[in-house]
């Protein structure tokens, strides 16, 4: 089953690297102090930080697989929640669903989140020692 884990983690890593490259492209095009079209500084800082966090997470998927898996799950869930929140704040009343469904970036992130959720067990298998703590040797 290790082969399946490596394949899944490779797909995840490729998606994270594409995301990181997209954020790097944005920073190269607009500069580090760009506010992403007027969003709050915390949102701009979060999106800019993904330039580093995405590729580091991709590397962790192979260097420290379990840490990389946990970080990937946390990263994509927080990313989707954050992006839907920003979209909701900027959408006219009653238009969130239309705005979200017409945004290819949000749709791709939701798709990646669903894929990560559906494959996390495969990714976790064969990544190290068992999932249970070993009892300590006491005398």
pLDDT digits (tens, 9 = 90+) for 4-46: 999 999 999 999 999 999 999 999 999 988 888 889 999 999 9
Q: Is the pLDDT of residue 138 over 70?
A: no
Ramachandran class of 128: left when φ > 0, alpha when ψ lies in -120 to 50, beta otherwise:
left
Q: How far apart are CA 122 and CA 10, in angstroms?
A: 12
Does residue 130 fall inside a structural domain? no
Does residue 44 fall inside a structural domain? yes
Does residue 136 fall inside a structural domain? no
Q: What is the mean pLDDT of residues 98-108?
A: 90
Percent of the chain with pLDDT over 70: 91
Q: What is the structure's pLDDT at 37?
A: 86
Q: Which residue has the tokens 């990937």?
A: 72
Q: Which of 26, 24, 23, 17 is nearest to 56 (CA)?
A: 17
| Domain containing residue 86 | 2-124
Does residue 114 fall inside a structural domain? yes
Q: What is the mean pLDDT of residues 54-79?
A: 97
Highest mean pLDDT among 63-72, 100-109, 126-135: 63-72
Does residue 12 fall inside a structural domain? yes
Does residue 132 fall inside a structural domain? no
The number of C-alpha atoms within 13 Å of 115 and in the hemisphere containing its C-beta is: 17
Does residue 14 fall inside a structural domain? yes
Q: How far apart are CA 109 and CA 118, in angstroms?
A: 14
Tell me the whole-structure pTM to 2 decimals.
0.85
Say if CB 96 and CB 87 are below 8 A apart: yes
Provide the domain count of the chain. 1
Average pLDDT over the chain reads 89
Q: What is the structure's pLDDT at 100?
A: 87
Give the list of residues 6+ apart from residue 23 with CB closer than 8 angstroms, or none: 47, 48, 50, 51, 54
Does residue 84 fall inside a structural domain? yes
């Amino acid at each position: 089953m290790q082969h399946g884990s490596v394949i899944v983690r490779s797909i995840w890593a490729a998606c994270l690297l594409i995301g990181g490259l997209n954020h790097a492209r944005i920073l190269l095009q607009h500069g580090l102090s760009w506010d992403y079209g007027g969003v709050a500084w915390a949102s701009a800082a979060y999106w800019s930080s993904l330039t580093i966090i995405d590729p580091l997470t991709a590397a962790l998927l192979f260097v420290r697989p379990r840490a990389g898996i946990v970080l990937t799950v946390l990263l994509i869930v927080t990313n989707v929640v954050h992006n839907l929140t920003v979209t909701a704040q900027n959408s006219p009343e009653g238009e969130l669903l239309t705005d979200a469904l017409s945004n290819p970036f949000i749709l791709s992130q939701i798709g990646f989140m669903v894929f990560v959720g559906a494959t996390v067990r495969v990714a976790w298998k064969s990544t190290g020692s068992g999932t249970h703590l070993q009892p300590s040797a006491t005398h």
